[in-house]
Amino acid sequence: MKTAITELFGIQHPIIQGGMHYVGFAELAAAVSNAGGLGIITGLTQKTPELLAKEIARCRDMTDKPFGVNLTFLPSFTAPPYPEYIAAIKEGGVKAVETAGRSPEQYMPALKAAGIKVIHKCTSVRHSLKAEKIGCDAVSVDGFECGGHPGEDDIPNMILLPRAADELKIPFVASGGMADARSLVAALSMGAAGMNMGTRFIATREAPVHDNVKQALVTATELDTVLVMRALRNTERVLKNKGVDQLLEIEREKGVSLEIQDIHEQVAGVYPKVMIDGEMDAGAWSCGMVVGLINDIPTVKELIDRIMTEAEQIIRQRLTGFLDGTDVKAPARAVA
Ligand SMILES: Cc1cc2nc3c(=O)[nH]c(=O)nc-3n(C[C@H](O)[C@H](O)[C@H](O)COP(=O)(O)O)c2cc1C
């Protein structure tokens, strides 16, 4: 399949693996890229630019296909040394960067001078248009369903994607709630040129996280995520667990006077506990509603091959079947 996104990044399939804290290591990024998608190393999981340079080199040893790096611009008092992270990306020969969080505007000249394609993750049409204006090559349109930070507008992808298609000139991928061939074909129908998946890629054999995390994703349903930190305007969709129950209790008690220090224990340092040690009740970690569509733990290649094969079947048989009246069967079920 060829789309504006496959052409932009020089990849075989229009599938991107979004940056994920303590998940997006070289192993997963290389597996996604080797399977024909665009794998992404999560820049800030590497605590220094030197460590990121090593992670890029490790990834390069595992794949000769294009891969990218995620740079998340956090609202933080002690900002990470972004220019040095960008230098590590440039020197590592990486040609794709997924930016997220705040606008990447101040870093665009450095990224563009290094010949890097920038895809900015946005949760609204207005931010997508801003990304287009400042020279981003593409956007990842992240709907309300998404794991992580959906923003504060609460617009799901059924609305957000066609709205983006009506306004944007640059290509975009659908992000949030994407799991299988049905997601991909739906995203393409709504104007996207591919899809970005986060949560789904955690439940793969190569994802370098504790097995408890993968099992939790297989067990959970679409009812098992919840929004936290709304009062801080830093809303995050996370998987329910005992630590999150405590967090919600504190949020209820504090109401609008909630401050980040009040929930420090439930949000700080949680990722290594969950992803490395498998402590599933440690606190808040991002997870999308799409968890309700995850029923297995395939290899990344099995997952991507399955998506592409079934997407072709949906387009060639189910959709054209409706047009010529030869296939009027009911729901397109997931094979797995
Ligand atoms: C465990 C986890 C960690 C994440 N960490 C980051 C991150 O550090 N930076 C970022 O830009 N997005 C992060 N995300 C968001 C993903 O890149 C992606 O946009 C999102 O997962 C898409 O929604 P989905 O989970 O429904 O596929 C994270 C998501 C998950 C599930």
CA distance 146 to 305: 23
Residues with CB under 6 A from ligand 1: 18-21, 23, 42, 70, 72, 100, 121, 142, 145-148, 175-178, 196-200, 285-288, 290
Each residue's pLDDT tens digit, 134-176: 999 999 999 999 999 999 999 999 999 999 999 999 999 999 9
pLDDT band at 334 (very low <50, low <70, confident <90, very high): low
Which residue has a Cα nearest atom 14 of ligand 1?
Answer: 20
Ligand 1 center from residue 330 Cα (angstroms): 32
Ligand 1 center from residue 318 Cα (angstroms): 31
What is residue 23's predicted lDDT score, i.e. its pLDDT? 98
Judged against a pLDDT cut of 70, whether residue 335 lies above it is answered with: no
Ligand 1 center from residue 170 Cα (angstroms): 22
Q: What is the token pair recorded at 192?
A: 């996207």
Q: What is the mean pLDDT of residues 43-65?
A: 98
Question: Which atom of ligand 1 has the smallest separation from the CA of 40?
Answer: 17
Each residue's pLDDT tens digit, 198-236: 999 999 999 999 999 999 999 999 999 999 999 999 999
Each residue's pLDDT tens digit, 230-278: 999 999 999 999 999 999 999 999 999 999 999 999 999 999 999 999 9
Which residue has a Cα nearest atom 11 of ligand 1?
Answer: 100
What is residue 329's predicted lDDT score, i.e. its pLDDT? 72
Each residue's pLDDT tens digit, 91-111: 999 999 999 999 999 999 999
Mutate to test the pocket of ligand 1, among 20, 210, 234 (most ligand atoms within 8 A of CB): 20
What is residue 180's predicted lDDT score, i.e. its pLDDT? 98
CA distance 211 to 225: 19
Which residue has a Cα nearest atom 7 of ligand 1?
Answer: 20
pLDDT band at 336 (very low <50, low <70, confident <90, very high): very low
Judged against a pLDDT cut of 70, whether residue 313 lies above it is answered with: yes
Which residue has a Cα nearest atom 4 of ligand 1?
Answer: 20
**3-class DSSP string for the chain:** CCCHHHHHHCCCCCEEECCCCCCCCHHHHHHHHHCCCEEEEEHHHCCCHHHHHHHHHHHHHHCCCCEEEEEEECCCCCCCCHHHHHHHHHHCCCCEEEEEECCCHHHHHHHHHCCCEEEEEECCHHHHHHHHHCCCCEEEEECCCCCECCCCCCCCHHHHHHHHHHHCCCCEEEECCCCCHHHHHHHHHCCCCCEEECHHHHCCCCCCCCHHHHHHHHHCCCCCEEEECHHHCCCEEEECCHHHHHHHHHHHHHHHHCCHHHHHHHHCCHHHHHHHCCCCCCCCCECCHHHHHCCCCCCHHHHHHHHHHHHHHHHHHHHHHHHHCCCCCCCCCCCC
Ligand 1 center from residue 24 Cα (angstroms): 10
pLDDT band at 194 (very low <50, low <70, confident <90, very high): very high
What is residue 328's predicted lDDT score, i.e. its pLDDT? 72
Which residue has a Cα nearest atom 30 of ligand 1?
Answer: 286
What is residue 77's predicted lDDT score, i.e. its pLDDT? 62
Each residue's pLDDT tens digit, 8-23: 999 999 999 999 999 9
What's this model's pTM, rounded to 2 decimal places?
Answer: 0.97
Q: What is the mean pLDDT of residues 188-195?
A: 98
Which residue has a Cα nearest atom 10 of ligand 1?
Answer: 19
Q: What is the mean pLDDT of residues 72-91?
A: 90
